A and B are shown apart, each in its own frame.
Chain A
Amino acid sequence: MSLLQVRDLHLHIGDQHLVRGVDLSIDAGECLALVGESGSGKSLTALSLMQLLPSNARLEHREWLFAGQDMRFVDEAGWRKLRARRIAMVFQNPMTALNPTMTIGRQIAEVINLHTGKSRRSALARAVELLDRLGIVNAPRRARQYPFELSGGMLQRAVIAMAVACGPSLLIADEPTTALDVTVQAEVLMLLRELCSDEGLGLLLITHDLGVVKDMARQLAVMYAGRIVESGSCEQVLRDPAHPYTRALQAAMPSLGGEAQSLQGIAGTPPDLSRQIDGCAFAPRCPQAMNICPRRLPPAFSPVPEQRVECWLWEQAR
């Protein structure tokens, strides 16, 4: 049974319909990569899974199971107990995600103290231990320092330490390497992958970088305008993308070491989500769009088992 199972997740904020029916499923010890342009709703999906939404947000779903528990019946107090203890999150920019006037150690100790009831001193000791385990040199000294004194890579390690401090079973990493130097990115990703396999964590990795996905995730979901348009095993989807958007995304990616190709941008802009969208949201930008595309939402097709795509081209191909 999977660790997290969500079906038909919808999110409205104000008059914007930002997440429009997302299905997700993550197994323990497995990594699911969620890929898409900025504004496609990936980060909001992540925040929804932590119930960390603004007060004017409206969340709907058909099914939502986490570790066998039906999340429909969890109230705010229950969520507070779940956050960090069972589901933790790593944010995009470690420079802003940490309180600038609190030492690193205390910030990590705070979450340990909150969920395990350890004394402040032993929580602090545990924090130092964690920092050390996550590869921070001279951890006791670092723990006494403030965020502005540490480099971005070290800060992201500290944020990860904070996230895994209470031994969660699901980790959501929202573009964890975007704000970091290229040289540090690989280290942080490696760290996440190790945690995932060593501790049996489920990992939801959100990124716009297809290059990252290959080495990290077994499963891949591609999101466009609030919907998952294609999903499947990482290998299969990357080798043989079935949705024109996935293909366009891949063409827009520079590849290292491959033969020199011309990069292709995707013309146009993502749709206005405050308007009702009847058909495929990508149709206005799609080079292969057909008459039906903007009018009717395509159903899911499976070109090969374990690959799922929402595109009318596959109806025609059948």
Chain B
Amino acid sequence: MLRYVLKRIAYGALTIWFIATATFFAMHAVPGDPFNSAKAATPQLRENLRARYGLDKPVGEQYVLYLKNMLRGDFGISFTQENRRVNDIIREHFPVSAILGVVALLIATAGGIAGGAVAAYWHNRLPDRLLMMAVVLAISIPSFVIAALAQLLIVQANDLTGRSLLPVAGWGTLSHLWIPALVLGLGTMAYLARLMRSSMLDVMNTDYILTARAKGLGNWQIFWRHQLRNALLPVVTELGPTIAAITTGGFVVELIFAIPGLGRYFVQAVQQLDYTVIMGTTVFYGAFLVLIVVIVDLLYGVIDPRIRLHGGRR
């Protein structure tokens, strides 16, 4: 077990290094070198950048310096805003994205697992047909359209009741959270529901379910004790990529619902060509996602005894 954990962590660290390196070289490939001092906004900023990134030194040394800074968790200073550290920007905006993402993830996993289980339990019957139709629709409508439609719906509902039931956009209170989180989680929910359903059906056809029936267990007992846990295994492995998908979707939802998260800030930074913020955010997000995947992998080990005890993938 320990070997497995260490291996996963070491591999995660290597992946983060790769992301940081790819980001560094991508940014240095920008035509007309963005780190060329003339592009920075003020002379003060220019001086700060030169000192921090060793811009007068060769690329190799700059890279080493960059990695050292990253290792210390120091993402540098903003390119367009004097004296604003990228770390502060992340610290300010990431929690917003994180709250939105976590709530969306909870909605998506709970809804997806429940939906998939229900569909499988009533396989090929009405609940299954309806759910699968909803799933196909949810997968085929772009998230920004769903977001826009949700806003339209809120406006209509507010108009109809003559009261402000829910805010259309913005951030700050709980009521600002639900609809964006639901919109953000919807695609993932559909995906997980589908996965859970097929996983449940796979388990349903296994010998050990037949054994359970031969034991005289009722449908419901079989469902709870034997089917659910085994069906959850493949769903858990998908949680890592799922979180990545939710982070990605967060960009759009933050833009449409005017939520001051890191995604919206990143898009702004790209528009203003704030290179250091772009770099910092990319590496931060990448590292965050790798961390999540590692955690999910370790979690998987807890659920599946085969990995917990033997330290290998199935």
Contact = CB atoms under 8 A, between A and B. Distances in A.
A149 B229 CA distance: 19
A161 to B, nearest CB: 12
B306 A148 contact: yes
Contacts of A88: 214
B300 to A, nearest CB: 12
Interface in B292-310: 303-306, 309-310
Given A101-B230, A149-B309, A111 B216 contact: yes
Nearest to A165: B215
B208 A99 contact: yes
A84 B306 contact: no
How many A residues touch the partner, as a band? Answer: 20 to 34
Contact of B208 (A85, A89, A97, A111): A97
Most chain B CB within a 10 A radius of its CB, from A79, A97, A115:
A97
A80 B217 contact: yes
A93 B207 contact: yes
A84 B230 contact: no
A111 B214 CA distance: 10
A162 B215 CA distance: 8
A43 B208 CA distance: 16
A110 interface: yes
Given A96-B206, A99-B230, A148-B305, A52 B212 contact: no
A308 interface: no
Contacts, number: 71
Contacts of A100: 208, 230, 305-306
A114 B216 contact: yes
Contacts of B230: 99-101
A217 B8 CA distance: 54
A89 B304 contact: no
B225 interface: yes
A295 interface: no
A82 B214 CA distance: 9
Contact of A97 (B211, B218, B229): B211
Given A52-B210, A93-B207, A101 B216 contact: no
B93 interface: no
Most chain A CB within a 10 A radius of its CB, from B210, B303, B309:
B210
Interface in A96-150: 96-102, 110-111, 114-115, 146, 148-149
A256 B21 CA distance: 68
20 contacts: A52-B210, A80-B217, A81-B216, A82-B216, A83-B213, A83-B215, A83-B216, A84-B216, A98-B208, A98-B211, A99-B211, A99-B230, A101-B229, A101-B304, A102-B225, A110-B217, A110-B225, A146-B309, A149-B309, A159-B211
Interface of B: 206-208, 210-218, 221, 225-226, 229-230, 233, 303-306, 309-310
Interface of A: 50, 52, 79-85, 88-89, 91, 93, 96-102, 110-111, 114-115, 146, 148-149, 159, 162
